[in-house]
Structure 1
Amino acid sequence: MAASSLPLAIPAMRFDLVTLNLVLAIAETRSITAGAAREHLALAAASRRLSDIETRLGVKLFERRARGVEPTEAGHALVRHIRSLRASLHALESEVVEFSRGVKGHLRVAANAASIAETLPRDLAAFSRANAGVRVSLEDLSSAEVQQAVAEGRADVGIFVAPVRDGLDLAVHDYRRGRLAVLVPRAHPLGRRKAVRFEALLDHDIVGLPIGTSVHEAMLAHAERQGRMLRARLQVRGFDAIAQLVEAGLGVAVLPATVADRLARLFEVKVLGLDEPWAERQYLIAVRRQEVQPAAVQRFLDALCGPSAGAATSRNARQSPSGGSKS
């Protein structure tokens, strides 16, 4: 069979979920024995299933090594599709079951912490009021994780901060703009200013969200450009926790301006402007690229981005203001 005809032949093959789950378990445990145990299969039966699927596909899925197995490139590709399939099956089951409860659809949204704190709640509330039959679930992830979740089918819609990751088949739309600000204790030496440059913060300990979040990666990139170390001493989850640590005098923080303004009314902290071009941020919405979006997804895009969101636009080449590759 010619190589060009292979993709046409693959859909005709029969893949059972037991074998696909086994392949995923082996890939995640790096062991045929552990994968078989996780899927409650005898080792001999698991080995036969793995050998059978490799024979039918005509490729090796795993390289056997002294300390276990390692997925081949073909194995990694199959695992990606299995994860997407499992996510779709889970969504299918959840959505069909909910029809019996009067729910007309289920929209899974993944968003980064800043968008949840700064822009998303009002839009989600308005969408829910206009689409009472659609149940919306929301998961808090880093911007990079948001994009991966959408690409793998674990989320229907993702809201995040640029850059768009390469290699993901996503349709990306502009959502809203935001701005970063600085939070300092009321009695802090920088508190006498209305705005500061980022380099002024590098002499102080930084309180912030964990590594991998968009703000942390932007600060890290700009500190490295200036040949300075980012003194990220305290990393916590949640903006309230950040404000309490800043109030206690344990450092300064960079966070979304609207969030900072809200926290300044609750804690003994002061908000300063961040006088940097990269303080302006663009929130984006991503969905999987396909000809026709599910009705609930399209209604969500129309509500948050306007009817022009019906035309999918690739933004894989977009870069963040920080020039970083993580978010």
Structure 2
Amino acid sequence: MRLDLTSLHLVLAIERTRSITAGAKAEHLALAAASKRLADLEARLGVKLFERRARGVEPTEAGRALVRHIRNLQASLHAMESEVVEFSRGIKGHLRIVANGGAIAECLPADLANFCSRHPQIRISLEDLTSAEVQAAVAEGRADVGIFTPPVLDNRLHTQIYRISRLAVLVPRSHALASLKAVRFEDLLDHDLVGLHAGAAAQEFMREQAAALGKTLRARLQVRGFDAIAQLVEAGLGVAVLPRGPAERFAQLFDVECLTLAEPWAAREYRVATPKADSLPTVVQRFVEALCPPQAAAAAEAALEAARSDLVSKQ
């Protein structure tokens, strides 16, 4: 089925103005020509797109569905035009990256800087999403590469280990736990927890761990951003579990202590996700190879097991 852009733009104009006459005018079409285009499109699709009313037209369910798809197509066309135009300015590619907050806070910036210095003609965009959103964005083609923490939720992805991370505990310096060097997760469950918004991988995992212990996670405050968490902890509003890298930095900036979380699951991995495909675009392949050199995978797996063993010994 071939659909021309003029007719699709006309559908958007009619939906926006709720009038065939006004839609035709907006698209610089004669009313008769617009009416014929709409009738031909409805005949080709086999559905009514608009219901004629006394005061104009209203999209049918099919019409609303088509409008959603046209808007998505329009966004893709604009992105395509923008990316292609950039080649005339010396840009040789566009890499769309999505990553969870932990990866952005701990390890990704330095690797992005190194990649950009070696490939200055590749334009990079980066978006902060939850791990579940990262996987969906890559699987659905809205991003080229994703960095997330397991579990892997989508079988349309190819994933590989990128970096090892540890979760740590942040408490106010005046807190009862502040004198300890390491704490168990169970020790935190009698205290209010300051955490990330619902959907963040660590937050959901801790909720499951609390349930396994027969307790409820007292997640009184949920915010976006590790810096906001640190300030709320400093104010005495709770304790927090967050990646060790930013936790140690906050311990130098705020009146808080960074403690070891003595749980095997506190050692975790960041993984790189790409769509399952026989081949990837060159720019994507170069970026993935920069993040995950083939020889580094075995070492990273061994480091993860060693970190988990170390945390078990601290229990």
- Give the TM-score category using the shorter length: 0.7 to 0.9
Partners in 2 of 1:174 and 1:242 — Cα distance? Answer: 27
Larger mean Cα displacement after TM superposition, 86-95 or 284-293: 86-95
Give runs of aligned pairs for residues 205-224 of structure 1, distance below 5 A.
Answer: 205-224=192-211
After superposition, the Cα gap between the structure-2 partners of 1:22 and 1:35, relative to the gap in structure 1 and judged at 3 Å, is: farther
Name the residue aligned to 1:14.
2
Aligned residues of 1:88 and 1:153 also touching (Cα < 8 A)? no
Output one character per residue of 1:11-31: Cα deviation in whole Å (capped at 9) or x when no partner. Answer: xx21334666799x8xxxxxx
Aligned-partner residue type, residue 268 of structure 2? R
More divergent stretch after superposition (14-23 vs 217-226)? 14-23
Do the aligned partners of residues 145 and 113 (structure 1) sit closer, same or farther apart at CA in structure 2, a change above 3 Å counting?
same
Specify the code of the residue in structure 2 equivalent to 1:99. Answer: F
Deviation at 1:235, TM superposition (A): 1.4
C-alpha contact 2:97 2:124 (8 A) present in aligned 1: yes
The equivalences for 1:186-201 within 5 A come to 186-201=173-188
Deviates more, 1:245-254 or 1:290-299: 290-299
Contact kept? 1:161, 1:281, Cα under 8 Å: yes
2:170 pairs with one of 183, 198, 206:
183
Report the Cα distance in structure 1 between the residues aligned to 2:216 and 2:17, rounded to whole angstroms: 43
Which amino acid is the alignment partner of residue 203 of structure 1? D
Matched, 1:158 2:146: yes
Pairwise CA RMSD:
3.5
> How many equivalent residue pairs?
280
Q: 1:155 to 1:230 in 2, by over 3 A?
A: same
CA distance in structure 1 between the aligned counterparts of 2:272 and 2:46, rounded to whole angstroms: 39
User: Map of 1:11-160 to 2, 5 A cutoff?
Assistant: 13-17=1-5, 41=23, 56=44, 83=72, 85=73, 88-160=76-148
Percent identical residues: 60
Alignment of 1:167-182 (within 5 A): 169-182=156-169
Structure 1 contact 201–252 (Cα < 8 Å) conserved: yes
Counterparts of 1:150 and 1:306, CA distance in 2: 21
Q: Helix, strand or coil for the counterpart of 2:97?
A: strand
Q: Which runs of 5+ in 2 are unaligned?
A: 25-30, 50-58, 297-307, 309-315
Q: TM-score, normalised by structure 1?
A: 0.73
- Alpha carbons of structure 1 residues 185 and 59: separation in structure 2 relative to 1, 3 Å: same
CA offsets per residue over residues 49-68 of structure 1, 9 Å max, x none? 8886676467999xxxxxx9
How many Å apart are 1:113 and its aligned residue? 0.6
Unaligned runs of 5+ in 1: 1-12, 26-31, 62-67, 310-320, 322-327
Bigger Rg over Cα: 2
Distance (Å, rounded) in 2 between the aligned partners of 1:162 and 1:48: 53
AA in 2 matched with 1:245: L
Secondary structure of residue in 2 paired with 1:191? coil
**Post-superposition shift, 1:291?**
2.2
Instruction: State the match for 1:244 in structure 2.
Output: 231
**Which secondary structure state, in structure 1, belongs to the residue aligned with residue 110 of structure 2?**
helix
Q: Equivalents in 1 of 2:185, 2:121: separation in Å?
A: 46
Secondary structure of the 2:254 match is: coil
Output the TM-score relative to the length of structure 2.
0.76
SS at match of 2:177: helix
Hey, what's the Cα distance between the residues in 2 that align with 1:21 and 1:199?
58
- Cα distance in 2 for residues equivalent to 1:278 and 1:119: 19
Q: Is the 8 A contact 1:87 1:153 kept in 2?
A: no
Provide the C-alpha distance between the structure 2 equivalents of 1:130 and 1:151, rounded to a whole number of angstroms: 28
